[in-house]
Structure 1
Amino acid sequence: SNYFLFYRTFAQNCNNIEELNLNGCKKLTDSTCQSLSKHCSRLLYLDLGSCCQLTDLSLKALGEGCPLLEHINISWCDQVSKYGVEAMSRGCQHLLVFICKGCHLITDEVIGALTRFCNDLQVINLHGCINIGDDSILLISQNCPKIYYLCVSNCSRLTDASLVALGQGCHNLRTLEVAGCSQFTDSGFQALAKGCHKLEKMDLEECVLITDNALCHLAVGCPSLETLSLSHCELITDDGIRHLGANGCAADNLTVLELDNCPLITDSSLDHLVSCHSLQRIELYDCQLITRAGIRRLRSHLPDLKVHAYFAPVTPPPSVGGGRPGYCRCCVLL
């Protein structure tokens, strides 16, 4: 009760507040959001991440009393469902940022309600919302043309239909995070690259079906690409990296390239990157075919480049403290 009284008093006496971060306040209840609704009508930014006791009543209250709200984070609020999001969306139609990582009750129907009322959305983060499907991405592409950041990492139900929809409707997209979307293929990224020419950052970690063809399409269609993660994309070969190095995106803009656990990558890939003068960091953990000599050769062209890699010792050290025998691997920053 003291917790509630504190926030009620706070809301009553700070009614001009515009930004409020309550992330991690796990004892927070719906009563707090109801107090904010009554007293804080100027609220623009509200972070309720990990406030796991909150329910749809909180979002309903915000929709009724905070019409200027632009930024909402309800990540890990796992009791929130369609009813709360729809009520909030009806009242907060100026919303620009919607973050709801790890909310398993978020479905295509929820995204439909959100995008029906909040057409100005620019940032949407649905990381780990495992029950959304292609219909959610179609709705975003149809109703939210201003979106420039989308994270759907670990939304494993998504297929190439989502990438096709983004390519057709989200031409301002600059950041796309789709790590763990294991059904995406080269065809989907071909469609994406045809329409999303402004992409600057892509996280494709564990998009396990993509091959060098996907990189060919991205190199041509996304010339502004700066950060690219291909970790655990085990079908990527030197030829895919050659496409990046031979086209404008890598040579002119690429600053970070992550290739962890790409077992087919060899020193030839590093040779293809010598013309990428903007490259600042490359990740090569568990790329077994990369050698120290290849890294030294790349750094002779790019002396400020940070390279992270693992190398096994020449002679495996003896087991220490009775631990499991085997060789250790050394983390090397070169």
Structure 2
Amino acid sequence: HTIKSISNQTLSHAPNTTSVDFNPNSDSTFQRNLTFNFPASISSLDLIRGLSRRSSCSLATSHLDGSRMSRTVLQLHLGPWLESLALPGSSVTESSLLALLPHLTALRRLDLSGLDMSGVFLSREEHRQQVQVALAGLKKLDLSDLRYLSDLTFNRLTGCTPRLRRIEQTSTVRWLDLSRTSFTPESLCSVAQVEGLSLEELRLRGCKELTDYSVEVFCKHQPGLQILDLSVCTELTSRAVQAVALGLKGLRLLSLSRDWRVTDKGLADLMVLPELRTLDLSECLHVSGAEIVKGLSAPEPRARLETLSLKSCTYIRDLAVFSLAQLLGSSLRELDLTFYIYLTDLSVAWWRPPRRVSLEYKGPSFTRTFGNMSFFRPPSMPFQEKPRLVTDKALGVFREQEGASLLVLRSLQDLDLSACSKLTDSSITQHVLRYPDLQRLSLSILPEISDDSLASVAYHCRSLTSLEFSHCPRISDQGIARAAPYLARLQHLYLSYCNALTDRSLSMLVQHCKRLRTLDISMCKYISLTMVELLQSQLPFIENVHCRFVGGADLTYSDFFLSPAA
């Protein structure tokens, strides 16, 4: 009704006009939460003047030239209305930024990530006073990727933003991301002890100077933290892990990726954190998984992991994998075992879901309500079954009894087994990968698997939306033909370096995979560009078709990806 009334009003004031086309998208009255991206240079003056007619706006720019004209236009036309300014990786100089900031009196969010900011920024008192007045209402400040960020510069910036400085009195700040900066152990200790500060999320990825002691101090003073990213903090050891387990009882996510000095020590203590749902230990080369199993086998409460990454953890063996499957079967949704070179068919077989057995002709039915008669024992209830540790003896029995399985990963949604080079078709096809709720599966760089694996996965995992079989040379048109009819939900398919595929495979995808959005067939030398273009025209949702070197073409002809025309 609103749009109609505006259209009628326009017509009443234009008697000589027979019709009016009204587009609400072009009327600033109906536009909300818009962010404009453009170079802040003389060439954009008309656009900038148009933005000044809006009540408020956000601005993201990757280039701000040093001309006086550009600074003047931004100051006069946008200063009083600009609520958000993002300069990620911009070439703006410190002098230009100092000249601009005092005029941005309405600013609420400021992104300075990636700037080359030296130690003299805001060193003069008059500059700090001007910036402090302008940024009195600033609520969010992004300082990530500031390579030369020092304690002195950090203190100057926060000192010019009164709303942020109130962390000394209030708990208004909930998260900090200082990843890939020169954040020092002393700085972490200082932040942790700010009076009234109660962080929920802290990301310090790539802060390589941090020490175990600084993590201990932080965990002691910030017990309410829920998300902690300490990946690529290469000086940390298992002592930091123990501090996290002891001090952060409500932790939900922990990333220790590429912390090469971390060992099994302390991981058992982590597993008794009842709220822990995500654990990333990728490329922690000294982790064997034994302590994780030990912690998960402890009495309740214990972690119910939903996401676990053990990528490139080369010390993990079959026994640990079996036990993890047993202990996490009911909760695990995402499992990354990429580049786990010791993963075998035996390992994967123990994740097999149970068979659905029809009881129609299997004897009499039983009730779960029992009187005083004790003719028979009541059937076991699902919640009475307790997880059991897998022993070497049980492992030996399993090797002798093919098909045995202790547990299922019933809730698994994401599984990555890429580059587990010892896997064969038997691990995929013989009652193993049968997860009806699995959505994302990667089986790339597995030279031993064939069309049988692809067909089995498609038949038993019909909820798949993303499937990767790149660098699997034994996948052919026959496998695609067998799998495609069961992949109606598939949106992303990666088949690069599958050299046995031809145009016939694309025809099957066009026929059965109508929801496909992304297709990667790079290096498939028997697929023609003509068929690629036909596929693109036939699939309604296709967005990207990666087709480098298709048809055996050289780099100058086909090193690109196709996307639908506007």
> Would you call these one fold, judging by a TM-score over 0.5?
yes
| Structure 2 equivalent of residue 293 of structure 1 | 530
Secondary structure in 1 aligned to 2:520?
strand
| Structure 2 equivalent of residue 323 of structure 1 | none
Work out the CA distance in 2 between the residues paired with 1:313 and 1:216: 25
Residues 315 and 256 (structure 1 numbering): CA distance in 2 closer, same or farther, change over 3 Å?
Answer: closer
Shift of 1:134: 2.1
Query: 2:268 touches 2:296 (CA, 8 Å); kept in 1?
Result: no
| Structure 1 equivalent of residue 282 of structure 2 | 101
| Structure 1 equivalent of residue 236 of structure 2 | 54
471, 477, 484: which is aligned to 1:245?
484
For residues 49-88 of structure 1, the aligned pairs below 5 Å read: 49-88=231-270
| Structure 2 equivalent of residue 235 of structure 1 | 474
Work out the CA distance in 2 between the residues paired with 1:177 and 1:218: 13
Secondary structure in 1 aligned to 2:506?
helix
Does 2:500 match 1:264?
A: yes
Worse-superposed segment, 77-86 or 47-56: 77-86
132, 144, 164: which is aligned to 2:349?
164
Work out the CA distance in 2 between the residues paired with 1:172 and 1:314: 42
521, 527, 544: which is aligned to 1:284?
521
Secondary structure in 2 aligned to 1:246?
helix
| Structure 2 equivalent of residue 43 of structure 1 | 225
Query: 2:521 touches 2:550 (CA, 8 Å); kept in 1?
Result: no
Secondary structure in 2 aligned to 1:83?
coil
Does 2:547 match 1:309?
A: yes
Work out the CA distance in 2 between the residues paired with 1:158 and 1:93: 29
Residues 158 and 254 (structure 1 numbering): CA distance in 2 closer, same or farther, change over 3 Å?
Answer: same
Query: 2:470 touches 2:498 (CA, 8 Å); kept in 1?
Result: yes
Work out the CA distance in 2 between the residues paired with 1:60 and 1:84: 5
Shift of 1:110: 3.3
Shift of 1:133: 2.0
Shift of 1:328: 5.3
Supply the AA of the counterpart residue of 1:255: Q
Work out the CA distance in 1 between the residues paired with 2:557 and 2:284: 37
Query: 2:264 touches 2:289 (CA, 8 Å); kept in 1?
Result: no
Structure 2 residue runs of 5 or longer lacking an equivalent are 1-150, 152-183, 354-407
Query: 2:527 touches 2:550 (CA, 8 Å); kept in 1?
Result: no
Residues 265 and 5 (structure 1 numbering): CA distance in 2 closer, same or farther, change over 3 Å?
Answer: same
Work out the CA distance in 1 between the residues paired with 2:550 and 2:200: 54
Query: 2:262 touches 2:284 (CA, 8 Å); kept in 1?
Result: yes
339, 343, 346: which is aligned to 1:154?
339
Q: TM-score, normalised by structure 2?
A: 0.54
Residues 312 and 165 (structure 1 numbering): CA distance in 2 closer, same or farther, change over 3 Å?
Answer: closer
Aligned residues: 318
Residues 12 and 281 (structure 1 numbering): CA distance in 2 closer, same or farther, change over 3 Å?
Answer: same
Answer with 1 or 2: which has the greater Rg: 2
Shift of 1:303: 4.9
Work out the CA distance in 1 between the residues paired with 2:250 and 2:197: 14
Work out the CA distance in 1 between the residues paired with 2:518 and 2:305: 32
| Structure 2 equivalent of residue 215 of structure 1 | 454
Work out the CA distance in 2 between the residues paired with 1:143 and 1:121: 10
Query: 2:528 touches 2:551 (CA, 8 Å); kept in 1?
Result: no
Q: TM-score, normalised by structure 1?
A: 0.89
Residues 262 and 128 (structure 1 numbering): CA distance in 2 closer, same or farther, change over 3 Å?
Answer: same
Supply the AA of the counterpart residue of 2:456: H
| Structure 2 equivalent of residue 122 of structure 1 | 306
278, 294, 305: which is aligned to 1:113?
294
For residues 2-21 of structure 1, the aligned pairs below 5 Å read: 3-13=184-194, 15-21=197-203
Worse-superposed segment, 215-224 or 297-306: 297-306
Residues 255 and 39 (structure 1 numbering): CA distance in 2 closer, same or farther, change over 3 Å?
Answer: same
1:196-248: per-residue Cα shift (whole Å, max 9, x none)? 1111111111011111111111111001011111100000000111122122x
Worse-superposed segment, 164-173 or 300-309: 300-309
Does 2:419 match 1:180?
A: yes
Work out the CA distance in 2 between the residues paired with 1:88 and 1:314: 51
Supply the AA of the counterpart residue of 2:523: D
Identity of aligned residues (%): 27
Shift of 1:136: 2.5
- Structure number with greater CO (CA < 8 Å, separation at least 6) is 1
Worse-superposed segment, 22-31 or 118-127: 118-127
Work out the CA distance in 1 between the residues paired with 2:416 and 2:318: 15
| Structure 1 equivalent of residue 101 of structure 2 | none
Query: 1:115 touches 1:139 (CA, 8 Å); kept in 2?
Result: no
Work out the CA distance in 2 between the residues paired with 1:50 and 1:6: 18
Residues 102 and 85 (structure 1 numbering): CA distance in 2 closer, same or farther, change over 3 Å?
Answer: same
Shift of 1:304: 4.5
Query: 2:444 touches 2:469 (CA, 8 Å); kept in 1?
Result: yes
| Structure 2 equivalent of residue 321 of structure 1 | none
Worse-superposed segment, 13-22 or 221-230: 13-22
| Structure 2 equivalent of residue 319 of structure 1 | none
Work out the CA distance in 2 between the residues paired with 1:82 and 1:214: 34
Shift of 1:312: 7.4
Supply the AA of the counterpart residue of 2:289: D
Query: 1:215 touches 1:244 (CA, 8 Å); kept in 2?
Result: yes
